[in-house]
Amino acid sequence: MREPDGEGADRPGARRRRPWVLVPAAVLVAGLLAFHSAVPNTVGNLGSLLETFLPWLGLAVVVLLVLASWRRSAVAVTAAALPAVVWAVMFGTSVFPGSTHPRPVDAGAPEPASILTVLQHNVADDNADPAGTARALAAAGADLVALQELSPQALPGYEAALAPEHPHRIVVGTVGLWSRYPLADSRPVDIKPRDITADWRRGLRTTARTPTGDIAVYVAHLPSVRIRPQDGFGTAWRDESAAALATAVAAEKLERIVLLGDLNGTVHDRGLSPLTSRLTPALEGFGFTWPAAFPLARIDHVMTRGTTPATTWTLPATGSDHLPVAARLALR
């Protein structure tokens, strides 16, 4: 007897006869991974939004592989393998970086002269425990400590905690740098978007006089981005600020540069390409830094020119909504 329409869908072999629905999905995911830069920003900055969370397309890859296995189809498995291979090529070294995160050195024991340890942290202006955050940062043993969202109320606490091991410092607006080594030629860097009329100082440049020579150090906090129904992924101010910072970096006369900052974007985001095209990000593992409770993206960065990033890692959460990120740089 002929079965009614719809019956027999769960019979053995039924799921093997319809593997083709996975093929377009697998090709789409592989295409988004491999050609993310081709996704336009003309509508709601969808390209930048995709690039911000690009590693998380790995979850779609896992779903495709599970469904392909369930269907027991060679076609489905082959299709699902395509985005899996692309993801592995792009992010495999982040899963298996090849070394473990190093322990912070003792605060009283500086690194050898050929190694510079730097620490970057957005401490959050609404931090409920700035004193605890200051102590944690002071104990990390970094040579340079860059902070953003410094409030006038919390600044004395950070100064008191960091000064014993970092006697040299510069603060411009809400960003600051503390250093073991003398600082010279310190000045603000204007990265304020044109449409912001309020007092807004979030960039600085200084020269760190290290035992191996001078290094230009930039500290920056680029504007935040927002996702709004009316205009999508709002990055205009962030992108304008990134371009201004890149202009300052391009004009830098010193060969060696270190940029420490909350850039409110990932290294894949085309909005940061003016910087990533000039500087080498210090990357090891995914190193997601925001939000601290469940990190989804690495928006806090160490970037460099004229030095070689040796290793980088995140520190335990403080009272901020960002995680601190540290890096060891081999000086040439």
- Domain end call among 64, 95, 126: 95
Question: Residue 101: inside a domain, yes or no?
Answer: no
Contact (CB, 8 A) for 303 and 280: yes
Please report how many Cα atoms fall inside a 13 Å half-sphere around the Cα of residue 258, on the Cβ side.
32
**Count of residues in the chain:** 332
* Average confidence (pLDDT) over 179-195: 98
Question: Residue 104: inside a domain, yes or no?
Answer: no
Q: Which residues pair with 205 in a beta bridge?
A: 187, 218
Q: What proportion of the chain, given as a percentage, has pLDDT over 90?
A: 79
Cβ neighbourhood burial of 209 (10 Å; 0-12, 13-18, 19+): middle
Are both 207 and 248 inside the same structural domain?
A: yes
Kindly write down the DSSP assignment for every residue of 234-270, as one continuous string: E-HHHHHHHHHHHHHHHT--SS-EEEEEE-SS-TT-G
* Average confidence (pLDDT) over 63-80: 89
* More confident: 2 or 229: 229
Q: What proportion of the chain, given as a percentage, has pLDDT over 70?
A: 89
Cβ neighbourhood burial of 199 (10 Å; 0-12, 13-18, 19+): exposed
Q: Which two tokens stand for residue 110?
A: 């500086």
pLDDT tens for 193-244 read: 999 999 999 999 999 999 999 999 999 999 999 988 777 899 999 999 999 9
Range of the domain at 249: 115-331
Are both 83 and 123 inside the same structural domain?
A: no
Closest CA to 258 of 320, 331, 192, 315: 331
Kindly write down the DSSP assignment for every residue of 105-145, as one continuous string: PPTTSPPPTTEEEEEEEE--TT-S-HHHHHHHHHTT--SEE
Confidence label for 73 from pLDDT (cuts 50, 70 and 90): confident
Are both 260 and 306 inside the same structural domain?
A: yes
What pLDDT is recorded for position 250? Answer: 98
CA distances from 250 to 69, 100, 253, 275 (A): 51, 34, 8, 9
Residue 106 predicted with pLDDT over 50: no
Are both 57 and 171 inside the same structural domain?
A: no
**Rounded Cα–Cα distance for residues 86 and 108 (Å):** 45
* Arithmetic mean of pLDDT over the chain: 90
**Rounded Cα–Cα distance for residues 204 and 170 (Å):** 8
What pLDDT is recorded for position 278? Answer: 97
Question: Residue 4: inside a domain, yes or no?
Answer: no
Confidence label for 6 from pLDDT (cuts 50, 70 and 90): very low
| Number of domains comprising the chain | 2
Q: Which residues pair with 115 in a beta bridge?
A: 330
Question: Residue 325: inside a domain, yes or no?
Answer: yes
What pLDDT is recorded for position 9? Answer: 45
What pLDDT is recorded for position 121? Answer: 98
CA gyration radius for the chain? 23
* More confident: 181 or 101: 181
* Average confidence (pLDDT) over 175-184: 98
What pLDDT is recorded for position 97? Answer: 60
SS3 327: strand
What pLDDT is recorded for position 1? Answer: 46
